[in-house]
């Protein structure tokens, strides 16, 4: 039997390899080892990279210690002295809330919506970050994700909102550091007070007030969930602009709260059923005083710059809310009375009611007219002989009877108007867009926006505190504050300064000065000669100073200034408060050819109202920080009549005129009210009133500067364009009624106050023809107050003095020429109108500090 043959050739080789392969032990594939090594190296590189990035960024990170005493950007609030809100300035609305005052459900709503592991992680939720990384790997988009509440605190306090990986790394590093150094509740408090909710609201309290008009403790669960859903996208989820999307977001927050067992099923269902009630609420302004608000804003910005709008300053003013409202009302009433006295200018806007029938279109027409003082825009629907039917946007459809339009004589010019209307339809036509207001009886009457302007200001004469400021008919129509920024000629209102200088020089109220024509060389006047004269061209001859001031005689004032000397009058005027640029260096100053604001004139007359002391007006009483710390307290100088001359007193005001001169001047200014150009003031039934009217040439300005001891108020009326007010629109006719209406309210239930007669003043019989005291035993004469003893000036008032060239003459401070005449009883100072003053260009105020 043959034995099997062994394989040969290729077969033998194949068999050999097969046997060898089968005999080997299995080995681990090498690529797993390579993979591990690559991952290890990659991890090492990434770790080193992150460490290097950390070392690079760590020195650049801000110090989080500032979070322990954080200062939020809070708007500045302005208050009256009785605590009523006047205005707020600042873009960001914020009212910080302590974490202990945050309702538990509200805190849970934010945790459910933004960071449900807030109390568990170390400032960074790595699960969330991993989700964000995977989203980027899948979509290639850098979407915000994985941010914890702590990371949002880091971003909002220290970083920008740009979406970059570098910023994200910084955010993570800061979040870890914040979490390690601050308690969780403090971090949550920072977040709740910092985050933005739309509508300029920052922080939960501001959001609650803006959207619901509530404090956080008054919110319902549904409202809390609505607010908690806003930070993710304040515009998209705005419950006012997008109520449907906002409701979806609110319901999501509520579901999260239920899932996390923050609320019960019952509370969840109740909150789901809450209607969407959000609307924009703004904090109610309790005292409408925009001119005051702007004065404060300007002063605070000058002192603190942009910080004024962000540091939460509470600025308390000297404004009394009752006085401010009375001032606004009196000024508007006076301007309206003047305006209606000169006629109705007819409707400037008219629509075709046949073409425009929809009320929505009517509302738009009325809305376009805008607010203006106490007037309301209205559309005339019908007009008959006896009545007009109106449509208003918010006041129904009132009817105007004939009595409501009786005043509306057609306006022709400042000095002319047509006959009174005989019927309503003579005045109003269907389609006219008009203005109406409520009168004292609460009935609607026809009115119009005055073209004339005015100002009213009140000071506490003893301290200079500004009690009330009305700078025009309506701040929304013109932001120019005529009470503080208007520079107008004071006219005869300046004469008491001249008389005070004369009394200080030895004159007495009984001194006689010649009221007769006089002329002076003056290159600034036509023909080179200034020939001032009384408006009536009538002259009283020798006149006692008391009578001359009461009747406001021009020639007497000019002769007094010449006798006393221009330098002395200017020196005294500056002590009263005038600045050099307000005082022309010429004899025209005797008639008030300088310039002054109503606030300046109030400062000047405060000297007469407080016993002879200069006080400086101030508006800001104190400033507090957002934490209630006192930052500033006004320390004004005080008129101290009870302080002996040699006695020191803290913050004592400087005496401007002696006690004797003051007493005589006060008595003479009282006679202006009792029997002079301001007798209308007697309507108040008080014996302690005093003051001086003022009317400038061509009736461009009408003033009344008046006071009762301790209280001074000044009213001014005029056109911003310097055009005439019209014939007989004097200070007593136009400005005094405004002052009267205001002071009637201010002096209600205020007892009369009198100045004590100083020891240096006595009453004596004087010769009315010369003003000299009569010797004992000589009968006749009049009783007048005189200094003790009575010095007589070296001046014979009964003899015409020679004409002399005045000191270097120049145009008055407003650029006009010297005056020649003045209206009756109220003298004027400038025959040509001064250049128009830009009504909207504010003049910087003196510092109120």
Owner of token pair 């220290």: 158
Distance CA 806, CA 815 (A): 19
Distance CA 155, CA 168 (A): 9
Residue 573 DSSP class: H
Distance CA 485, CA 497 (A): 22
DSSP strands (E only) in 738-781: 761-766
Peptide bond into 789 cis (omega under 30): yes
Owner of token pair 């000058």: 302
Contact 314, 623 (CB under 8 A): yes
Contact 448, 344 (CB under 8 A): yes
Contact 110, 192 (CB under 8 A): yes
Segment holding 454, helix H or strand E: strand 453-460
What b-and-e string marks burial along 319-345, b requiring 16 or more CB atoms within 10 Å of the CB? bbbbbbbbbbbbbbbbbbebbbebbbe
Question: Which stretches within 159-242 are classed as H helix?
Answer: 165-181, 184-194, 204-212, 221-228
Residue 826 DSSP class: S
Distance CA 552, CA 353 (A): 56
Distance CA 130, CA 145 (A): 9
Cα three-residue angle 122-128-132, rounded to 5 degrees: 135
Residue 64 DSSP class: G
Residue 340 DSSP class: H
Catalytic residues: 114, 492
Distance CA 63, CA 598 (A): 53
* Cα 388–chain centre separation: 38
Token pair listed for 575: 């002590």
């Amino acid at each position: 039997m043959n034995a099997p043959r062994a394989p040969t050739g290729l077969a033998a080789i194949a068999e050999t390899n097969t046997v060898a392969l089968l005999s080997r032990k299995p080995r681990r594939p090498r690529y797993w080892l390579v993979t591990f090594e690559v991952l290890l190296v990659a991890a090492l590189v990434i770790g080193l990279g992150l460490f290097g990035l950390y070392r690079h960024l760590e020195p650049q990170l801000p110090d989080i210690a500032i979070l322990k005493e954080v200062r939020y950007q809070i708007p500045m609030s302005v208050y009256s002295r009785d605590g009523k809100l006047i205005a707020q300035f600042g873009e960001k609305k914020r009212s910080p809330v302590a974490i202990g005052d945050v309702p538990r459900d509200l805190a849970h709503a934010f945790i459910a919506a933004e960071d449900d592991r807030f109390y568990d992680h170390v400032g960074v939720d790595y699960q969330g970050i991993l989700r964000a990384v995977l989203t980027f790997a899948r979509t290639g988009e850098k979407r915000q994700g994985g941010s914890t509440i702590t990371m949002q605190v880091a971003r909002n306090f220290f970083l920008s909102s740009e979406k970059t990986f570098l910023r994200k790394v910084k955010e993570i590093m800061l979040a870890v550091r914040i979490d390690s150094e601050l308690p969780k509740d403090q971090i949550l408090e920072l977040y709740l007070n910092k985050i933005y909710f739309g509508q300029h609201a920052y922080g939960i309290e501001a959001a609650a007030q803006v959207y619901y008009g509530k404090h956080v403790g008054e919110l319902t669960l549904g409202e809390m969930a609505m607010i908690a859903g806003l930070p993710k996208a304040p515009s998209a989820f705005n419950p006012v602009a997008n109520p449907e999307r906002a409701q979806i977001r609110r319901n999501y927050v509520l579901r999260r709260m239920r899932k996390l067992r923050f609320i019960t099923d019952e509370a969840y269902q109740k909150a789901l059923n809450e209607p969407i009630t959000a609307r924009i609420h703004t904090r109610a302004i309790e005292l409408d005083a925009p001119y005051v608000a702007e004065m404060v804003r300007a002063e605070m910005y000058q002192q603190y710059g942009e910080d004024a709008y962000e540091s939460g300053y509470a600025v308390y003013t000297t404004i009394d809310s009752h006085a401010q409202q009375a001032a606004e009302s009196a000024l508007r009433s006076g301007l309206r009375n003047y305006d209606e006295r000169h006629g109705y200018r007819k409707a400037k806007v008219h629509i075709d009611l046949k073409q425009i029938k929809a009320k929505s279109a009517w509302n738009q027409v009325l809305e376009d007219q805008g607010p203006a003082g106490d007037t309301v825009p209205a559309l005339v629907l019908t007009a008959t002989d006896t009545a007009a039917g109106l449509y208003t946007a918010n006041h129904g459809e009132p009817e105007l009877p004939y009595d409501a339009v009786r005043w509306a004589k057609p306006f022709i010019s400042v000095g002319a108007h047509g006959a009174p209307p005989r019927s309503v339809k003579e005045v109003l036509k269907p389609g006219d867009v008009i203005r109406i207001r409520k009168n004292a009886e609460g009935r609607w009457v026809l009115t119009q926006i005055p073209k004339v302007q005015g100002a009213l200001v009140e000071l506490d004469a003893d301290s200079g505190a500004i009690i009330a400021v009305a700078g025009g008919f309506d701040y929304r129509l013109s932001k120019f504050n005529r009470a503080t920024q208007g520079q107008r000629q004071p006219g005869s209102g300046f004469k008491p300064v001249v008389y005070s200088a004369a009394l200080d020089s030895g004159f007495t109220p009984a001194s006689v000065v010649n009221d007769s024509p006089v002329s002076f060389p003056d290159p600034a006047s036509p023909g080179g000669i200034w020939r001032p004269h009384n408006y009536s061209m009538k002259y009283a001859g020798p006149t006692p100073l008391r009578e001359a001031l009461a009747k406001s005689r021009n020639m007497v004032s000019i002769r007094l200034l010449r006798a006393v000397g221009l330098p002395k009058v200017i020196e005294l005027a500056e002590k009263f408060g005038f600045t050099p640029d307000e005082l022309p260096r010429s004899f025209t100053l005797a008639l008030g050819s300088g310039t002054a604001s109503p606030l300046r004139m109030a400062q000047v007359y405060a000297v007469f109202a407080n016993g002879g002391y200069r006080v400086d007006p101030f508006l800001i009483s104190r400033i507090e920080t957002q934490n209630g710390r006192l930052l500033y307290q006004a320390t004004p100088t005080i008129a101290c009549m009870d302080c002996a001359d040699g006695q020191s007193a803290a913050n004592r005001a400087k005496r401007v005129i002696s006690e004797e001169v003051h007493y005589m001047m006060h008595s003479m200014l009282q006679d202006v009210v009792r029997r002079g150009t301001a007798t209308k003031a007697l309507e108040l039934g008080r014996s302690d009133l005093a003051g001086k009217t003022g009317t400038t040439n061509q009736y461009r300005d009408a003033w009344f500067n008046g006071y009762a001891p301790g209280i001074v108020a000044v009213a001014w009326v005029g056109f911003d364009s310097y055009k005439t007010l019209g014939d007989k629109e004097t200070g007593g006719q136009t400005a005094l009624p405004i002052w009267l209406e205001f002071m009637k309210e201010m002096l209600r239930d205020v007892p009369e106050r009198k100045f004590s007669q100083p020891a240096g003043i006595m009453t004596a019989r004087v010769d009315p023809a010369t003003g000299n005291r009569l010797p004992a035993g000589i009968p006749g004469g009049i009783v007048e107050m005189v200094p003790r003893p009575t010095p007589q000036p070296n001046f014979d008032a009964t003899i015409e003095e020679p004409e002399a060239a005045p000191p270097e003459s120049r145009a008055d401070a407003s650029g006009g020429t010297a005056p020649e005449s003045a209206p009756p009883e109220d003298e004027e100072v400038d025959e040509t109108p001064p250049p128009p003053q830009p009504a909207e260009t504010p003049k910087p105020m003196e510092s109120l500090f």
